[in-house]
Amino acid sequence: GAVVSQHPSRVICKSGTSVKIECRSLDFQATTMFWYRQFPKQSLMLMATSNEGSKATYEQGVEKDKFLINHASLTLSTLTVTSAHPEDSSFYICSARGPSGSYEQYFGPGTRLTVT
Amino acid sequence: AQTVTQSQPEMSVQEAETVTLSCTYDTSESDYYLFWYKQPPSRQMILVIRQEAYKQQNATENRFSVNFQKAAKSFSLKISDSQLGDAAMYFCAYRSWIYQLIWGAGTKLIIKP
């Protein structure tokens, strides 16, 4: 149980376009989801925390107008990278707070974004 | 603010031997959780083991065990009988009451056949 999926797994887009990444909790309801960015050979950097039905809380230094996060349901959060530029190329990972009583975050498989 | 430090960027071990990965953290909280995650080349984060701070007993999961020293704020991971499939990045993480994870920089574990 406690499976999180991400779609797409890889995406290539042209500079100036927008791209949406979906994160779904498949077998549990996730009131809280997290979005991370990971650069090569580095640790995970928390971008934002999203709670179902409310605005996301962004970490310092993360442009909220560039990285739009919507947590419209208990099983779906989306990250939209707007007006993407090559420097936005990265590996994006989502995670979900586990079912009630769980101590853990459950991670999606990640999305590789390449902006050309 | 909490911090997590992994001072070993890379470790290598012979297959079937034992290796210990180090992690220290800093916090003023008394109740928290500590985790070790594995990230293989597929980049899927996999939970290896977790420790609740209020528990004195060290957590164990098959070949993986921790040495949790609360006073010293140390949380090392021991992998026994290392296998080729253990090769990965290992991240130590701290979870506070707000459910956010604070991550260490990671340790790359190489298994020599």
Burial (CB < 10 A; 0-12, 13-18, 19+), residue B23, is buried
User: What is the mean predicted confidence (pLDDT) over A88-115?
Assistant: 91
pLDDT for position B35: 96
Beta strand A10-13 with A111-115: parallel, antiparallel or unpaired?
A: parallel
pLDDT for position B90: 98
> Over pLDDT 90: what percentage of chain A?
78
Q: Pick from A32, A42, A103: which is nearest to B50 by CB?
A: A103
Instruction: Judge whether residue A99 has pLDDT over 90.
Output: no
pLDDT for position A52: 86
> Using one digit for the tens of pLDDT, what is the confidence trace for A18-74?
999 999 999 999 989 999 999 988 999 999 999 888 889 999 999 999 999 999 899
Instruction: Judge whether residue A92 has pLDDT over 90.
Output: yes
Long-range contacts (CB closer than 8 Å, 24 or more residues apart) made by B79-83: B79/B13, B79/B18, B79/B19, B79/B20, B79/B21, B79/B109, B80/B18, B81/B16, B81/B17, B81/B18, B82/B13, B82/B14, B82/B15, B82/B16, B82/B17, B82/B18, B82/B19, B82/B111, B83/B15, B83/B16, B83/B111
Distance from CA of A30 to the nearest CA of B (A): 13
The amino acid that residue A108 corresponds to is: G
Asked whether A34 and A98 are in contact (CB, 8 A), the reply is no
Question: Residue B113 CB: number of other CB atoms within 10 A?
Answer: 6
pLDDT for position A45: 95
Asked whether B4 and B92 are in contact (CB, 8 A), the reply is yes
DSSP B34-55: EEEEEE-TT---EEEEEEETT-
pLDDT for position A53: 84
pLDDT for position B113: 94
- The mean predicted confidence, pLDDT, of chain B is 95
CA dist B46 → A67, A69, A104 (Å): 26, 24, 11
List chain B residues with pLDDT less than 70. Answer: none
> Over pLDDT 70: what percentage of chain A?
99
Q: Does B45 touch chain A (CB under 8 A)?
A: yes
User: How many inter-chain contacts (A to B, CB under 8 Å) are there?
Assistant: 40
* Subunit contact B43:A91, Cβ cutoff 8 A: yes
pLDDT for position B1: 83
Instruction: Judge whether residue A106 has pLDDT over 80.
Output: yes
